[in-house]
């Protein structure tokens, strides 16, 4: 991080009491916050997001309240590595190597949910699928890895409002977070991750174009998947 950005964080943090740089020195504090059922705001490879323990009913309810989001709108989860995915979702039937070709990256993969996983049952009740993210951003992946769980992850904004590419974009939500981690102004659009449904073997369904649709489709086709009609 630049000295200018660090100075800005200190100035803004003095007002908010929670804004700090998204740097390695704060990973342990963020993990403690997650394990305590708190919400944190973090940069990803697309947008700023709100994250909490995906195995905590209280934290999940809180994140819905913060966003003003309908409980029927599903949340995705974030894990640290591809090897973590089978703990929370079913990957049987997916071509070997597909997940490693897409992740980490700006893609949300909707997979069949493993009902025997440790995910909180109140997370997306009634759905037999779960969106899985591994952002190409070391900071949030380190938090997920250290938590020993999965993070429930959603964009850092009120429902229906523009997505955030800077902490200033969601300043009105800072007081609802244990920490707001500043990674500076994120590059790219506010399109968010590309969301693709892989719950039906041999096919894919594009649910949101997002920021990486062309690259994602190219990978899916190279593994022999066909677009569902």
Q: What pLDDT, on a 0 to 100 scale, did the predictor assign at position 2? A: 42
Nearest partner of 151 among 19, 24, 40, 46, judged by Cα: 40
Q: Tokens 């174009």 label which residue?
A: 209
Give me the torsion for CA of 54, 36, 178, 19, rounded to 10°. -90
Number of domains the chain is built from: 1
Cα angle for residues 135, 77, 124 (degrees, 5° grid): 155
Sign of the CA dihedral 104, 105, 111, 117? positive
Nearest partner of 205 among 194, 192, 196, judged by Cα: 196
CATH number at residue 43: 3.90.870.10
Retrieve residue 7's tokens: 């100075």
Domain residues for 154? 3-227
Q: How many CA atoms lie within 13 A of 19 on its CB side?
A: 24
Per-residue pLDDT of the chain (229 residues; tens, 9 = 90+): 444 445 544 544 444 448 999 999 999 999 999 999 999 999 999 999 999 999 999 999 999 999 998 888 899 999 999 999 999 999 999 999 999 999 999 999 999 998 888 899 889 988 999 999 999 999 999 999 999 999 999 999 999 999 999 999 999 999 999 999 999 999 878 999 999 999 999 999 999 999 999 999 999 999 999 999 7
Helical H runs in the chain?
3-16, 27-35, 57-67, 98-102, 138-147, 213-222
Cβ neighbourhood burial of 86 (10 Å; 0-12, 13-18, 19+): middle
């Amino acid at each position: 991080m630049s000295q200018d950005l660090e100075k800005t964080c200190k100035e803004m943090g003095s007002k908010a009491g929670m804004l700090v740089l998204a740097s390695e020195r704060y990973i342990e504090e963020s993990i403690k916050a997650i394990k305590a059922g708190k919400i944190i705001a973090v940069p990803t490879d697309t947008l700023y997001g709100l994250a909490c323990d995906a195995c905590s009913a209280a934290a999940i309810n809180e994140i819905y309240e913060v966003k003003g989001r309908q409980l029927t709108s599903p949340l995705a989860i974030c894990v640290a590595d591809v090897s973590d995915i089978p703990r929370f979702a079913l990957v049987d039937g997916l071509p070997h190597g597909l997940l490693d070709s897409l992740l980490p990256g700006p893609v949300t993969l909707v997979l069949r949910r493993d009902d025997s996983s440790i995910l909180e049952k109140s997370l997306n009740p009634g759905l037999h699928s779960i969106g899985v993210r591994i952002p190409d951003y070391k900071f949030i992946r380190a938090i997920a890895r250290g938590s020993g769980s999965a993070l429930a992850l959603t964009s850092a904004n009120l429902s229906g409002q523009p997505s955030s590419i800077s902490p200033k974009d969601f300043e009105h939500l800072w007081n609802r977070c244990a920490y707001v981690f500043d990674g500076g102004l994120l590059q790219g659009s506010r399109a968010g991750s590309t969301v693709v449904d892989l719950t039906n073997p041999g096919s894919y369904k594009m649910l949101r174009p997002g920021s990486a649709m062309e690259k994602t489709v190219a990978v899916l086709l190279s593994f022999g998947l066909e677009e569902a009609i």
